[in-house]
Structure 1
């Protein structure tokens, strides 16, 4: 079919059904043209069983790169106009006949083609091949091994195309399409940082083309479809908002500057696809508003009460959008299983966003645990994780690779805050049901651990939270089965967790109030190797062998006496100071010893010598002060109980089953005193030796009493190994 004939057909066609029939005929015509060109092409170069482009690409680094073989590609293109393929539903920015034209342009490059065309063709082939059902293998003429080989070939071409992108590109429809498809490719493969750069470029290109301010057409027919420019713009808008929110960045397209009319569904796109796309657009708009009103710098400087009210309004808005979408899908159910994954993705995103906004609302329960969130937040987190677990049993078993891509896309569009919230709630409430749900979620997201470094990092984060929650529940369960004392037992909140020292913070009632833990910048902090600082609970993990931190550091509350408070900050503070003194003197004298052993004949200025001598004196004073403080505290102090009556305090002390109420009655505390004074004696001796050494060396030199070597006329230098003349 020639373009002139197509124009004539366009002029004669009326109604959506005739347009669809014409599109099908055009796709078949483009496919036929490719086949005719293949039949007439006698000198097409090939590499093995792959097709090589005719080297008309304008980027020399892509020259000669092989493409998937022509024959299965032709059959695949024929299949696209007889059966709807998942690729064209996930990426509605391009349709079947346009893709066929680009395949013809790249496979038979009579004229130069752009890098964008190369990207679109390789991305389309990559996902079309991976999306083939087994019953189509014979029709396309491929096997599972062929699909794996061809998809790897297309993936390598896309990686090369990413490296070939230019900083300055002329804005165009084809360029935007290529950037969007590359973004999807990177998101599904777990490369969020590259995807962010790509979608930022696509956003700028959309703005340069003026798509954010497309004029409204008053004469637009009621049943006409959304234009290509609008479709591309809103796809870019959705990914820009989602990734900016997840990565803690500022979006490139601002809602206040968008004048383009939002698509109206199902008018612009009827049926299930329209409802799903409408949900994603609503999700992006809400995320943009959330960024401004809840998490921007200006919002966080404002009133907390204002943020709380805004969070409640956003939660209600999210719930309404999600319920409306589900009702629409019930009233007009999709006829194809391909729509299942996008609807599940949207459902999880909405629950995760609801969790995040509810996290700003304080818990309304009295005397709540610092990790306890309000009921709406915990409920949304449970729904999100339950949906993920259920989806893994269906989508994951049906297509493991597709499930891994699904997870990578999900965690790029929304922070996985629901897991953190439910882990904290599990620690606070010792809920075995929530712990079981966390375990199921860990298994469900397991495939991303092998898909990318970022996926591995996220999996390790969730695994650490789960282990902390599991340990807390197991400990509380064991404590509840222990022989009870009347109405009271001491509960230790801090405990040694072996190698997982990070987890100790999660189980601490003294942990910081994670008021903004679900904001993007706080999630980024959690992802950055848990750089949350070293506090008393973590310090106990490496000083426990010789210090009684764990005996007293976790005592805060007494079961049966909710108003009682246990105070042990005196012994914890003095032991922390003693630890500092030990670390300081060990580092100081180790450095001094290394200098004396390897550079005994070094020349030091008087100023430097005084620094060394005063440093040793400071170490001695620190250790003396620490020893005195530990001795006084252990000998005279004990556990202090407040906020109860004298009778209640006597009851607590009479039924105490924790560490000794008098610090001096504990064996570990007495051992600390003994070793602390022994350490001070040796520190004092080392300080005296250093001062006398400097006095001796300044007068006689470092080897005044060294043994003679040879005939007595030379001495031996430890630094150089050479004989030195005797003065």
Structure 2
């Protein structure tokens, strides 16, 4: 007789809060009406009970914070990469392949970063361990899924391929890509809070007056010469126009003939100015070894003082014109040493102080107290902060601090102490900066990437037209300057205008990158994007020829044209080579790298750029070699696929659905199947930004010059 399960049964609603299907129905996987006994058990005359047999215990569900989920995913990625490292080492040792004792992932020595504040007589600060710092935000990307897939792909690839089958150069290329992918996940914000050459303030007084300065006997001749014949440095700074020569000389008097304490800002201004002056003198000294030695010692001393002053800036700076000048000089210096994250922080503070003082608004009534010259200087300070804000925001993938709708101050500066063409050029720089802000906002920001593709294409077309108009005005200004200036000044202006042309073409290539490729044209990039990138590379070569043997001028050009705003033509051409195997474009990359060679000795930022781009060039060259070998020998392991996956993990090429190659035995999954044009665009922009962001990291583990030697 069927048993009644209503009494004391584990499945009772009173015990579990809900009536469950009986054991017999659950085991037979048939529908149960949950009566007592159920209809199925009554018909079959079976014992009807509900004890939970055959049912998995229900796990307690816990609400997990999104940040925790991401941390777990990152840990999984790192575990996969660590497994790959161990597997590569095992294969290398078993195959008798000569490898370096250094691990594939280079961990720089532990470093600390100090945010100091002047309290009492000593420098006090908080020391941060690198592992405790959060990663610096560099915009949204969807590269994590690609990175995980790349790790899984290589795990399977190395299981079926002995490293003995690869040439040493191929091993080096794959290891370098692996390192870059790893650095993408491990990059921290440590570089944002410390300068390399900053010094502790002296104990006791703890003031900047105790820090050594270049001797007065060396400074006075330079100041006198500066007044008579403005050097190249101050020509450019005065055109950018927030530092007049007279103002700088007065600041030097305050420091060297101090009757009372001078401000923190004055210390920074003087050391920044002397740093540029002595650096230029060292370059111009040529073969005079003694002069080069002296000037080098002076500008290195000023460099250390400048970094110390910037590192000890108070978080709550009073809104004064001197503080704004000091911050802008510091931001300019950070750009030249390839520290865009630091430059962003310094310029952001300068921009906020400008807005706090109302420099972004047109004067009204008696607001012009102090005369037109002072009002123009305030306007110049604001516009320089504006230009840095837009360029660095695009470089780092962040929203601008200054909004266009909040600006009413005129772009025309009447009392600027410069010939007429320079006034026009200054306005063109401002217009270009405005377009740079629109490029990020309308084409690459998270908000723009969720807009319909048709709207983004329309925005790109309008921005391209705007950039072309700016370029036309620049050509007219160059023609006007050539006719009105003497030969020396015309040559300087020609170099500046050629630099601007490279910048315009780079921005235009970034705009065209946002438009999809048309039918019939192979690859991800539109024909306009490819041709513009090629034109930018060619114009760069023309600019370097104009610089001649002047390393200082060439370094300044590279700092402000290649390192400052995102220089995308190199990455565009690199990606196009990977997609189309274009040998002529490979030669363009080689020529670009060779053009940097002579400047590496005078600029750490250029040396890092050269090292990184040499890695990419070698990867592109070996990638083509691997693809050719794969076509010739269909039975060989498709090594080119490993390149494909790593490059996709970096966002530099789309991950094809069939990239797993069948033989790998894994499914590409959603990262491959779900990549559309919008996702590719966001990944590529993030990948390009990440590659340039590596210039703030330690790249000493990369030595691409040895690849071609078979080491």
TM over 0.5: yes
User: SS at 1:143's partner residue?
Assistant: helix
Count of aligned positions: 463
Q: Which residue of 2 aligns with 1:67?
A: 213
In the aligned structure 2, how far is the partner of 1:141 from the partner of 1:476?
51
Map Cα deviations across residues 590-621 of structure 1 (whole Å, 9 max, x no partner).
xxxxxxxxxxxxxxxxxxxxxxxxxxxxxxxx
Q: Which of 369, 372, 393 in structure 2 is aligned with 1:244?
A: 393
Partner of 2:555: 404
Cα 1:117–1:420 shift into 2, 3 Å = same
| 2:334 paired residue number | 186
Which residue in 2 is equivalent to 1:515? 680
Secondary structure of the residue aligned to 2:402 is: coil
2:515 to 361, 379, 391: 361
Match of 1:77 among 223, 230, 233: 223
User: In the TM superposition, what are the counterparts of 1:201-600 in structure 2 within 5 Å?
Assistant: 201-215=349-363, 227-263=376-412, 270-333=419-482, 334-335=485-486, 336=489, 337-366=491-520, 368-371=521-524, 373-395=525-547, 397-446=548-597, 458-474=609-625, 495-496=639-640, 502=646, 510=657, 515-516=680-681, 520-526=685-691
Give me the whole-angstrom Cα distance separating, in 1, the residues matched to 2:204 and 2:596: 41
Specify the alignment match of 1:556 in structure 2. none
C-alpha distance 453-247 of structure 1, shift in aligned 2 (>3 A) = farther
SS at match of 1:66: coil
C-alpha distance in structure 2 between counterparts of 1:180 and 1:268, whole Å:
20
What is the distance in 2 between the residues matched to 1:519 and 1:503? 10
Query: What CA distance in whole angstroms lies between the structure 1 residues aligned with 2:396 and 2:549?
Result: 30
Residues 352 and 416 in structure 1, CA contact (< 8 A), matched pair in contact too: yes
**In structure 1, how many angstroms separate the alpha carbons of the residues matched to 2:433 and 2:635?**
45
Measure, in 1, the Cα distance between the counterparts of 2:302 and 2:610: 28
Q: Contact 2:337/2:605 (CA < 8 Å) preserved in 1?
A: no
CA separation of 1:318/1:276 partners in 2, compared to 1, >3 Å: closer, same or farther? same
Whether the 8 Å CA contact 1:188–1:406 is kept in 2: the answer is no
| Partner Cα distance (2:559, 2:637) in 1 | 35
Distance in 1, matches of 2:401 and 2:343, equals: 14
**Structure 1 gap segments, 5+ residues each:** 1-54, 483-488, 531-727
What SS does the corresponding residue of 1:166 show, helix, strand or coil? coil
Distance change >3 Å, CA 298–CA 104, structure 1 → 2:
same
Q: Matches of residues 45-60 of structure 1 in structure 2 within 5 Å?
A: 60=206
Q: Which one has the largest radius of gyration?
A: 1
Q: CA deviation at 1:177?
A: 0.6
Decide whether the 8 Å contact of 2:577 with 2:585 is kept in 1. yes
Asked if the contact 2:389/2:402 (under 8 Å) is kept, the reply is yes
**Cα–Cα, structure 1 residues 78 and 142, in superposed 2: closer, same or farther, change >3 Å?**
farther
Shift of residue 294, structure 1, vs aligned partner: 1.8
- Offset at residue 474 of structure 1 (A): 4.8
Q: Deviations over 1:103-123 (max 9, x none)?
A: 111101012210111111111
Q: TM-score, normalised by structure 1?
A: 0.57
Question: Please, which moves more after superposition, 306-315 or 184-193?
Answer: 184-193
Report the alpha carbon displacement of residue 259 of structure 1 after superposing the two structures with TM.
1.6
CA distance in 2: counterparts of 1:172 and 1:80, whole angstroms: 26
Q: CA deviation at 1:393?
A: 3.6
When residues 518 and 399 of structure 1 are mapped into structure 2, their CA distance, relative to the original with a 3 A threshold, is farther
Structure 1's 448 and 310: CA in aligned 2 closer, same or farther, altered over 3 A?
farther
How much has 1:289 moved relative to structure 2?
A: 2.1
Supply the distance in 1 between the matched residues of 2:301 and 2:426 (Cα, whole angstroms). 31
Secondary structure of the residue that 1:63 maps to in structure 2? helix
Q: Partners in 1 of 2:468 and 2:635 — Cα distance?
A: 39
State the alpha-carbon separation in 2 of the partners of residues 358 and 493 from structure 1.
36
- 8 Å CA contact 1:125–1:154 kept in 2: the answer is yes
Give the Å deviation of 1:524. Answer: 3.0
Report the Cα distance in structure 2 between the residues aligned to 1:493 and 1:271, rounded to whole angstroms. Answer: 64
Aligned-partner Cα distance in 1 for 2:656–2:492: 47
Shift of 1:269: 5.4
- Please report how far the alpha carbon of residue 133 of structure 1 lies from its aligned counterpart in structure 2 after TM superposition: 8.3
- 2: CA distance, partners of 1:298 / 1:404: 36
TM-score by length of 2: 0.58
- More displaced stretch, 517-526 vs 496-505: 496-505
Aligned to 1:585: none
Q: Structure 1's 320 and 365: CA in aligned 2 closer, same or farther, altered over 3 A?
A: same
Higher relative contact order (CA 8 A, sep 6+): 2
C-alpha displacement of 1:457: 5.8
In structure 2, which of residues 293, 314, 324 is the aligned counterpart of residue 145 of structure 1? 293
Confirm whether residue 124 of structure 1 aligns to residue 268 of structure 2: no
Task: Quote the residue 1:12 is aligned against.
Answer: none
Matches within 5 A, 1:77-96: 77-91=223-237, 92-96=241-245
In the aligned structure 2, how far is the partner of 1:348 from the partner of 1:414? 11
Q: Distance in 2 between matches of 1:460 and 1:502?
A: 19
Distance 1:404 1:348 in 2: 15
Q: CA deviation at 1:465?
A: 3.3
Deviation, structure 1 residue 68: 1.1
Post-superposition offset of 1:69: 1.3
Does the aligned pair in 2 maintain the 1:423–1:438 contact within 8 Å? yes
Cα distance change on mapping 1:175 and 1:106 into 2, 3 Å: same
**2:16 equivalent in structure 1:** none
Given that 2:411 and 2:427 are in contact with CA atoms closer than 8 Å, whether structure 1 keeps it comes out as no
1:159 aligned partner: 307
Q: Please tell me whether the aligned partners of residues 537 and 569 of structure 2 are also in contact (alpha carbons under 8 angstroms).
A: yes
- Unaligned 5+ segments in structure 2 are 1-200, 660-674, 696-711
Moved more, 430-439 or 158-167: 430-439
Q: Structure 1 residue 169 and structure 2 residue 334: aligned?
A: no
Q: Which moved more, 1:148-157 or 1:294-303?
A: 294-303
Structure 1 CA distance for aligned equivalents of residues 353 and 594 of structure 2: 40
Match of residue 653 from structure 1: none
The residue that corresponds to 1:101 in the other structure is: 250
- Describe the shift of the 1:410–1:59 C-alpha distance in structure 2 as closer, same or farther (beyond 3 A): farther
CA-based RMSD of the aligned residues comes to: 3.9
**Structure 2 Cα separation of the partners of residues 59 and 161 of structure 1:** 15
Q: 1:108 to 1:265 in 2, by over 3 A?
A: closer
Instruction: Give the Cα separation in 1 of the matches to 2:588 and 2:574.
Output: 10
CA displacement at 1:523 relative to structure 2: 2.5
**Deviation readout 1:271-304 (Å, 9 max, x if unpaired):** 2322321221111111122222222332222211
